[in-house]
A and B are shown apart, each in its own frame.
Chain A
Amino acid sequence: MERVAIIGVGQTKYERNKKGETFADLVFEVVTKALDDAGIAIEDIDNVVTVSNDFWDGRTISSMAVTDACGSYGKSVSTVEGDGTFGALYGLMRLLSGSFRSTLVVSHCKGSEGSNHFITNAIFNPIYERIIGLDSISSSALQARRYTEKYGITEEQCALVSVKNHKNALNNPFAQIAMDISAEDVMNSRMLSEPIKLFDSSPISDGACAIILADERMAKRVATSPVWVKGIGHSADAYNLGDRDLAEPAALIRAAQKAYNMAGIKEPYKEIDVAEIYDAFTYQELLWSEGLGFCERGKGGKLIESGETTMGGKLPINPSGGVLSAHPVLVAGLARIAEITIQLREEGNGRQVDGAKTGLAHGINGACGQAHCVWVLEN
């Protein structure tokens, strides 16, 4: 693959009820930040990918409603409906086509303006699963139960993910929910849908994120510390929840293998220094860690207990606080890429993993992680 670098990133603070800003305001904020970060002007961008979803925006063709704010006037703009990691993947492919030198990828979402229950209920087949009212929380609860029972993952092991990530969030100025809590606090929090409790769940969030990708020539010309894309992989699983064994992250295993092959990684747990993964619920960090090959199948609970995924451990996971600490849907995967970029530039301040050379960012799309996108980045 031609060498492609991330040369700029921008994030809003993630919050509930960002009433002071419209979607376009959020997009303008992060595009401006990413351009400043890259040290370039909007004229230097020749390709724009916007990421949004019509149900979350409450309007059709929502991706075209932010053209002013993302500076895509007169440029080649194309749109992705899905997680930001997939938007970035598409941006990367357009760059690799050789037709463009730079790509701006921007994603926005305001979870607080719509209803999470009704919007995520609309993921499902209207005739069978939607009509019985399943949504993101209750479907994930079925996955959590299946996974934890199949492999003997305990409630406390899941709670430890919440403790770790919410504590990490105290060092991330963009995080929404940052707090120092105990495993007991998590286990005593309000039950939402067994076995998922309030502190096992990510919040409703508003925010936006932008990244700028550049080909090697441009990256070397403008960037002082480019972060290089070393490997990428993506894979999807069956749509119907009934067709999948929800305890087996088959699509993620395939996506990770592709990314590792491309990056030349053989032992991910040893070779990756820091990871930002899509923990919409506590059990997901454990299940996705297994899928990413950070531990053996069924050993996600032991991995969190080992303490090696906390700051200072062998492989810190979600130093930013992860998705548990801010969950702007669609934006969250792109924010994982932005956070790894910050890590590999050693600009993480309080959340910096010392000497991070190789990082991994991960995003999901669809109910219960139907599709996964894995990025391996290097400084």
Chain B
Amino acid sequence: MSKQKYPLLTISSEIEQPYNYSLGRYGGRLLKELKHNKKIVGIKCPKCGHVYVPPRQVCGKCFVKMDEFAEISNKGNLESFTVVYFSFLDPETGQKRPVPYGYGRIKLDGADSGFLHFLEESDLKKLKIGMRVEAVFDENRTGNFKDIKYFKITKERNPS
């Protein structure tokens, strides 16, 4: 064998796996209501009364089945937020994800759990915890969580 130095190599490969995730009866109801009625639905625990959104079958704390759907407001309080500055290649568009963009954790009126979604780009410099925000729906809704485009700061009273 020769004493030549071999370079350290890597092989590039991508794994693409197709899935058809079931929404179940609970998630299906949320996305149908978003699409047809621009409404957000949650679900109430018969034991502890906690209202969850998105709706799901089991209250984790009580380990009981929930079946009482509850209409949740499109408005709520901003509990936490972040503005993201790092980009990545977005497989949906094939382009670099434009930055900055924002995420919020919103306590919707009528729900006890937090709801995570995008925040309106033009609001990013004005964000404060406790602000009132509301959902803005897409014109062309397809029965997808992104039928809500983002949450924007409401015109109502807001802490300055």
Smallest CB separation, B108 vs chain A (Å): 10
Closest A residue to B61 by beta carbon equals A238
Cβ-defined contact, A127 with B116, below 8 A: no
| Given the contacts A19-B10, A131-B145, A242 and B105 also touching, CB distance less than 8 Å | yes
Closest A residue to B27 by beta carbon equals A127
| Given the contacts A127-B23, A134-B103, A192-B86, A242 and B116 also touching, CB distance less than 8 Å | yes
Residues of A close to B21: CB separation below 8 A: 126-127
Within 8 A of A (CB), among B97-112: 97, 103, 105
> Which among B63-71, B75-83, B132-140 touches the partner chain?
B75-83
Q: Give the docked Cα–Cα distance between A146 and B19 (Å).
A: 34
Q: In this assembly, does A348 line the interface, its C-beta being within 8 Å of a C-beta of chain B?
A: no
Q: Give the docked Cα–Cα distance between A43 and B146 (Å).
A: 56
Within 8 A of A (CB), among B34-84: 52-54, 60, 79-84
Residues of B close to A144: CB separation below 8 A: 82
Q: In this assembly, does A145 line the interface, its C-beta being within 8 Å of a C-beta of chain B?
A: yes
Cβ-defined contact, B52 with A20, below 8 A: no
Q: Is the interface of B mostly helix, strand, loop or mixed?
A: loop
Cβ-defined contact, A146 with B116, below 8 A: no
CB < 8 Å: which of B53, B83, B97, B145 contacts A194? B83
CB < 8 Å: which of B8, B60, B80, B145 contacts A128? B145
- Scoring B80, B86, B145 by chain A CB atoms within 10 A of each residue's CB, the highest score goes to B80
Closest B residue to A125 by beta carbon equals B54
Smallest CB separation, A214 vs chain B (Å): 37
On B, residues with C-beta under 8 Å from A are: 8-10, 13, 15, 19, 21, 23, 27, 31, 52-54, 60, 79-86, 88, 90, 97, 103, 105, 113-118, 129, 144-146
